[in-house]
A = this chain, B = another copy of it.
Amino acid sequence: MRISELSRVSGVPIATIKFYLREGLVPEGVRTSPNQAQYDDAHVQRLRLVRALVGVGGLSLAATKNVLGHIDQPTGLTLDLLGTAHQAVAPALPDEVDLTPAVSLLRRLGWDACADAVGSDDEGRVDDTLAGLAIALAALDDAGFVVEPERMDTYADAMMQVARAEIAGLPTETPSAAVRYVVLGTVLVEPVLLALRRLAQREASAARFPLSARDLLEQQPR
Contact = CB atoms under 8 A, between A and B. Distances in A.
A194 B190 contact: yes
A62 interface: no
A79 interface: yes
Interface in A144-185: 144-145, 147, 151, 154-170, 172-176, 178, 182, 184-185
A38 interface: no
A138 B47 CA distance: 14
A135 interface: yes
19 contacts: A48-B143, A55-B139, A78-B217, A82-B198, A140-B189, A143-B184, A155-B192, A155-B196, A156-B196, A158-B162, A159-B197, A160-B203, A163-B197, A163-B200, A170-B205, A175-B217, A175-B220, A182-B201, A193-B193
A179 B159 CA distance: 25
Give the contact-size bracket for chain A.
35 or more
B198 A186 contact: yes
A3 interface: no
Contact of A169 (B151, B186, B216): B151
Tell me how many chains of this kind the complex includes: 2
A159 B200 contact: yes
Contact of A77 (B78, B204, B213): B213
B205 A167 contact: yes
Contacts of A216: 172
B208 A167 contact: yes
Listed residue (A111, A136, A199, A206) with the most chain B CB atoms within 10 angstroms of its CB:
A199
